[in-house]
Structure formats: C-alpha cells, structure tokens
A and B are shown apart, each in its own frame.
Chain A
Amino acid sequence: MKISGKTVNKLKRNIAGYTFMLPLIIGVSVFSFWPIISSLIYSFHNYDGFMTYEFVGFKNYVNLFRNDVDGLGKVLSNTLIYAAVAVVLNLSLSYLLALSVSKQGRGVYAVRVLFYIPCVIPGVVMAAMWADMLSENGAFNSILTSLGLPAFTFLEAPETSMITLFITNLWGLGSGMILWLAAFNNIPRTMYEAADIDGAKGFTKFVKITIPMTTPTIFYNLITGVIGALQYNGTLMLAPLSGRGYENSVYFMSVKIYRDAFLRMKFGYASAAAWILFAIIGVLVIIMFRTSKWVFYGEE
C-alpha cells in the first residue's frame, strides 16, 4: 500500500492527536478486535482449544441449528424469554423506585443507599449467597416453614426456576435507580413550574414531562439491558446441573457457549454459537434503533 505525501503530511500535522489515541487503539485492537476476529475464524474450524484445528466451513453453524445436543431452540427461547421479561421488569421497577425516592424527604437518602448497597457486592459472591439462601433448607425455606408454610422449590424445579431468577435479579434495581435519578435531575425545573402555572396535576406532569424527558435514558437502559440480559450467565454459579437448571429450564446461550468451549472442548463450535448470539443481539439493537423515534433528544 503506497501512502501519499498528502497523507503523510496529515499524519504529521495530527501526530499529537494520534499519539493520544494510540493507547486506546492498541487496547481495543488487542482486547476486542483480535478476539472477535479470532472467534470468527475459529467458528469455521473444528478446534478443541489445543492442537486439533481443522477447517470445517459452515458445519458448526449448520450443526447448531440441525443437531445440537442441548437443542438450540430451547436455549434460545429461554434466553429470549428471560431477556424480554427481565428487562421490562427491571426497567419499570427501577423507574418506579427512582420516582419514589426522587423527592427530598426524611430517610430518602437512607433508602437510596439501602437499595444501592447490593450492587457493590461482586457477582460471584452474590450468586453463592443466592444459591445458599434458595436451597432446600436455605434461609427462605426456613422462614417459610417456620411460618407454617410449605417449602418452595425455587431453582430446584423446572416450573419455578425462571420465576425465581426474575425475582433474584431485582436485587440489582439500585443500579438502574441511580441512572434514573440522574435523568430526573437533568429535567429543567422550569418545565414543571410552567406546568404548575398551567394547572397540570402530578400524573399529567409525569406523563407529559418526566417520561418524555427521560426517554434518552430509557432508550440507553433498554439497549444495554437487552444486551446484558441476552448475555446473562449468572446461572453458571447459581442454578443446578452446572448452570442449566433442571430440564434445561434456565439454560441460556452464554452458559451453553461456556459449556461447549470449556467442558465439551468444542471451541470452534462455541465460537459459532457466540456469533449466532452476536447476530441476534445485533438484529435486535438495529430494530431498536430503527424504531427509536419515540426518544426525545430535545429541540433540533
């Protein structure tokens, strides 16, 4: 590739800028681009992570859809159901929580802190805690039985495991709450004052001002929430049968990718599964962006 004198001049002129960018470019290349491209290449190979490395074309992709040991359909439907419910539940409840603690008042700060504290607990610790508390003789069942109620199966039965996961994930509502509170604070007070002059009541102000003015944050939380939920692998530590749950009831794509790569030693196959997940996330994100006219970015 021949670099023209004009380009060299441009490079010289902007050398300081490029120098500042260099660490980031190197970091992104090494830790993001490189693994991404590697995994794409692996996905076309029969690769065990060690020395077996044979080109197999699209075989891994075809096998995933045609003849997967876990049943890709079941794993994908679990993942999509989880993402759909968990995102809606977490966004709406954290929004309501933030609303309820957005006003100044006695004890508000304490409530905010209480809800945020769980978010600083590391994921692994949290999973171990939940696994213990939800076990047959764990804290929750001890409380239930001491009240004369029957013990609940939580993650120990396929019928109740997904619901249990949704509830355990509410533990992290505090992190969403912080983002909503920041969004509420960014709404100009003058808007509410003008609405007061016009005689608007609380609910009208909420629907006509608060919600529209926080749509950028809603959109951001929606996008990151969907991506995060589709990549959820918290069950690896939490659910029985190596994170699959009984009858594969909480078997998600990320857990499957982990099992394929590091338990079944099918690295190429796992890479193909990862690219399928990436494609699904990509399509959903594109759809969300294409239908984002409801997001209010201010007068343009």
Chain B
Amino acid sequence: MKKTFMKLACMLLMVAIALSCAACGPTPGKRTSENENYEANLTVDSNISTTLKIGFYGKTEEDENHFKELEKAFQLIYPNVSISLVTYGSTSYYQDLMQAYRTGSMPDIIQTNATECFPLIEGGLLLDMDKYIQLENDKYEQGKNEYPDFYAFENFEDQFYDSLWKLGQKNYNGHQFFVPRSADRIVTYYNKEQFVAAGVDMTTVKNGWTWEDFLAACEKLKKYYADNYDGKPFISGQWQWEAVLFPMLESSGGKVFDENGNITLNSAETLNAVNLLKDLVTKGYTKEKEPNQLAFETKTAAIQFHSLHPDYYLKSLGSDLGIVTFPLIGKGSGENKDYSGAKIGAGVTGYGIYSGLTGAKRDLAWQFLSFTLSRDGQNCMAKGGVSQPPVRKDMQDGSNLWRQNKGNLNLDAFFWEAERNYSTNFFLSQESSKQVDLMEAVINMFNEPIRGTGKEPQKAIEDCVTALDNIIKSN
C-alpha cells in the first residue's frame, strides 16, 4: 500500500515538474521576433468582429465611462468591435500583469505610465509601435499634399506635445512603446477664497509665479491659519512624490548622476533643494505627511500640488478653486536669480499594445489607440469624465470638451511653457530593476530632514549617496 502511494506521489511530482518547466513557463525570445519583425497595416476591415480587451489600473466611474464613450464612437467605424475592460490593482499592477501573462490572458491594450512602463518595455510586454507611427506619418504626408489646408502639422507625431509624446518612448528618447492618453502636469491648486482672505497679493498668483512669490503668499496664509485654523500647516505638498520633488532638485541645479553614471548628488545645489523643503516645514507651512489631499478638499488646507484633473477638485471646492503653475525655482540669489532652468513635474498615462498580439487584431488595437489620440477621441474621453488636458496641441480653445464647464479656471497652467516639463529620468542610465530603489533613496533624502527625528540636510545627502552607491554596486 505504502509503495503504491509512493509511486502515485512520484508520478504527480513528475507531472508537476513537467508542467512547471514547460506548459506554463515563460516564453523566452518571443519579444525580439514579435517586436521587430511584424507587418503593420493601417487598413482594417470595418466589418471585423472582435472584442478588444483593455487592461487598466484603478476603477473609478470616470475610467469606465470614458471607455464607454470611446467604444460608442469607435463603433461608428467598426460596428462589430466591442471593448472589454480588465482592472488591475494600482498597488498590485505588475503582479496582476504577471499573472495575466502566465495564464495567457493578457489584455490586447495595456495602460501604463511614464514611470511604470520601464519593466514592461524591458520585459518585452509592449509592442514597439514605430512601424505604425511611420505609416501614420506617411499617411499624414499624403493627406497634407492633397489637402494642405486640413493638415496643419509637420507630420502625425507633430500633433502632440513633444515633451509628453516622448515619455512613451524607451528611455524617453527612442522607440515608441506606448502613446500618451492625456497630459499630467503638477500644478498648484489653491483655495481662492482663503488666499484673498489671507491678503495674498493676487497679482503675483499667475502662471510663472516664482518660489519667492509662493513664499510671500505662504507667510500671509500662515497668519490666516494661525487666526482661523489653530496654526495648522496648509500646504498639501505630496512630499513623497517624485513628480514634485525631482523638478525641485533639477531646478536647483542638483544632479543625481553625471553623463558617465557617477554619483554627483553631494553638491551645494542639492543642499539648496533639500533646504527648500526643510524651510517650508521649519516655517510651519507644511509637514512631511500633512496636510493630506483630503484636507485640501475639505478646505482645511489652502494649497495642493497635484496633477489630477480639475473636475476632481471642482466637486468639493466649486468656485473657490484656483489653479496656477508650480512655482518656478531659480538659481542664484537676489535680483539676479535665474529662472530659465526652472522645471515643472510632468508625466503621462497612456496605452501600449501587447507584443503577443498578432495580425488584424494588432492593427485594430492600433486603430483604437489612433482614435483615442484624435480630437474626437480626446473629446470622448472628456465626455466620459477624464477631463485632463489633451496631449494634442490643437485642443487648447474652448470648443473642446475638456475645457467646458470649468468657469474661469486658469487651465493654461497645464500647458504654460511646456518646455519646462520634467519627468523623472535620472535613473535611465541604470538597470530598470534598480529604478524603485534609486527613486526611494532620493525621495528619502528630501524627507529625512523634515521628519520628527530631523536629520541635518547635509547628513541626509551623504547618507543618500551611500545608499545610491550601494544600490548601483548590488546585483
């Protein structure tokens, strides 16, 4: 009996090993052949009958609605194509994608963003879309020759803000692996009523306002908050977010690595950047984790640095909501301060095509993305509730849906001097598996001096250099 059982157990074990090694294992080498040797085609039979599966993270009402709007419009061209949505957890994004890949249930189109795309590109999950873009450029060129009045741009790619478009490229400068859906830029959301009540000089609160203007406003708000809110801090700064912190470092002239990949963080410029944040805490304007986002929505914080679409805040603040660009940080001192190198945090979320997709369905997936990027597509998204600014250059005027029902909000803040946009990229010279650790180390450097234990900024920088060195040298 025991022998028989052992035999059975051995057989099961062998089957398990065989399955692990073969059937459900990964497929090495697929990436190269699929990504480089495929044939792109812009002509898809309008009678094609299929379902496009889109994997996206988060699951807000707006997310679902905007896909419904896109589907409705897309069906005018491809009536037999439906869209099905698969949600991935925002905190278990890679985990969910891995599971989908391993079980052969990958979506046809994958949502990603400028910071989370690297492992997907490295892992070969996203299709290199250059062939489709080249065909679109050729098509645009042809149209331009025939109807020059209707084609105002250089080519297909020129329709989009370059600073945003290239964030979908490998290392932000190369092959296109995803197309940006909408523009995300860090802006200063503020409570207009509180600004006025505090006596802030509102003539300074305009696009391109400087860090010094911002500090002057904070000083007024401090007194206002002392009188009305028990002296609570009033800037919800998102001080753990790289999109806020890294432009501060870049604007101050601090660099994490030089061109050769050597660590150059320990500098007077970095110290200035770290001190900018520390000063805000020392003066009582903000704290490391306070006030939070909710405080701004409930009007117990006056300022919020964020890239969320204005509709989100309009729900809670209504006409009290104000928007202005992120304050410009200059180099030097006094009147000679130079703001030309000041940066503003930006990023994009967008969609890529699964590299395992083949034939007409891959072509169709591109058609869907192409439609999403069109004026109609961008308006559909706004209609569905995603009212972030479009990535297209030709959608600034009030006839576009994203601008409607926003009152007199200063929406230009999202585009003002777009060349100042800065997406965290210092880690590009390093392996993608080290990206998370490198970012965390630098974010921690900013936060250590503002924690209860209050590490000196210079010590925080030195510790960060040690940590970075450790990360680079590790396997």
Chain A residues in contact with chain B, CB under 8 A? 1, 3, 7, 10-11, 14, 18, 25, 29, 33-34, 37-38, 41, 47-54, 59, 63, 66-69, 135-137, 151, 153, 156-157, 241-242, 246, 259, 261-267, 269
Contacts and interface: CB of A to CB of B under 8 A. Distances in A.
B470 to A, nearest CB: 7
Given A10-B4, A136-B289, A137-B290, A48 B28 contact: no
Nearest to B1: A10
A261 B11 CA distance: 30
B38 interface: no
Contacts of A269: 475
Contacts of A7: 3-4, 7
A98 to B, nearest CB: 37
A41 B433 contact: no
B383 interface: no
A156 B475 CA distance: 29
Contact of B94 (A136, A153, A242, A263): A263
A33 B18 CA distance: 12
Given A49-B98, A52-B123, A41 B440 contact: no
Given A51-B124, A135-B289, A262 B101 contact: no
Nearest to B96: A262
Q: Which A-B residue pairs are the 9 nearest by beta carbons?
A: A50-B123, A69-B474, A63-B475, A49-B98, A51-B124, A38-B20, A53-B28, A265-B119, A264-B433
Given A50-B125, A51-B29, 6 more contacts: A49-B102, A50-B101, A67-B474, A136-B287, A136-B290, A262-B95
B121 to A, nearest CB: 10
A201 to B, nearest CB: 51
Contacts of B97: 50
Contacts of B13: 33, 37
A259 B122 CA distance: 18
Contacts of A18: 8
A68 B474 contact: yes
B92 interface: yes
A280 B12 CA distance: 27
A83 B405 CA distance: 58
B94 A37 contact: no
B27 interface: yes
Given A7-B4, A51-B31, A156-B451, A265 B123 contact: yes
A34 B25 CA distance: 12
Contacts, number: 123
Interface of B: 1, 3-4, 7-8, 11-13, 15-17, 19-21, 25-31, 92, 94-95, 97-98, 101-102, 119-120, 122-125, 287, 289-290, 432-434, 436-437, 440, 444, 451-453, 470-471, 473-475
Contacts of A69: 434, 437, 470-471, 474-475
Contacts of A259: 436
A37 B4 contact: no
Contact of B26 (A3, A14, A53, A261): A53
A34 B452 contact: no
Contact of A48 (B7, B119, B452): B119
Give the residue among B3, B21, B30, B436 with the most A Cβ atoms within 10 A. B436
B94 A67 contact: no
21 contacts: A11-B4, A29-B12, A33-B16, A37-B16, A41-B21, A48-B122, A49-B94, A49-B123, A50-B97, A50-B120, A51-B31, A67-B475, A69-B434, A136-B287, A151-B452, A156-B452, A157-B452, A241-B444, A262-B94, A264-B434, A265-B123
A262 B94 CA distance: 6
A59 B475 CA distance: 10
B331 to A, nearest CB: 31
Contacts of A14: 1, 4
Give the residue among B287, B444, B453 with the most A Cβ atoms within 10 A. B453
Contacts of A10: 1, 4
A11 B7 CA distance: 11
A131 to B, nearest CB: 11
Nearest to B21: A41
A10 B28 CA distance: 44
Nearest to B291: A137
Nearest to A66: B475
B7 to A, nearest CB: 7
Given A37-B20, A156-B451, A67 B473 contact: yes
Contacts of B120: 50
Contact of B28 (A38, A51, A59, A266): A51
B437 to A, nearest CB: 6
A68 B475 CA distance: 6
Nearest to A237: B91
B440 A242 contact: yes
Give the residue among A29, A51, A59, A261 with the most B Cβ atoms within 10 A. A51
A50 B122 CA distance: 9
Contacts of B470: 69
A34 B13 CA distance: 8
Contact of A264 (B17, B31, B436): B436
B123 A263 contact: no
Contacts of B98: 49-50, 262, 267
B229 to A, nearest CB: 14
Contacts of A66: 475
Contacts of A52: 26, 28, 122-124
A157 B437 CA distance: 20
Contacts of A53: 25-26, 28
Given A69-B474, A135-B289, A51 B19 contact: no
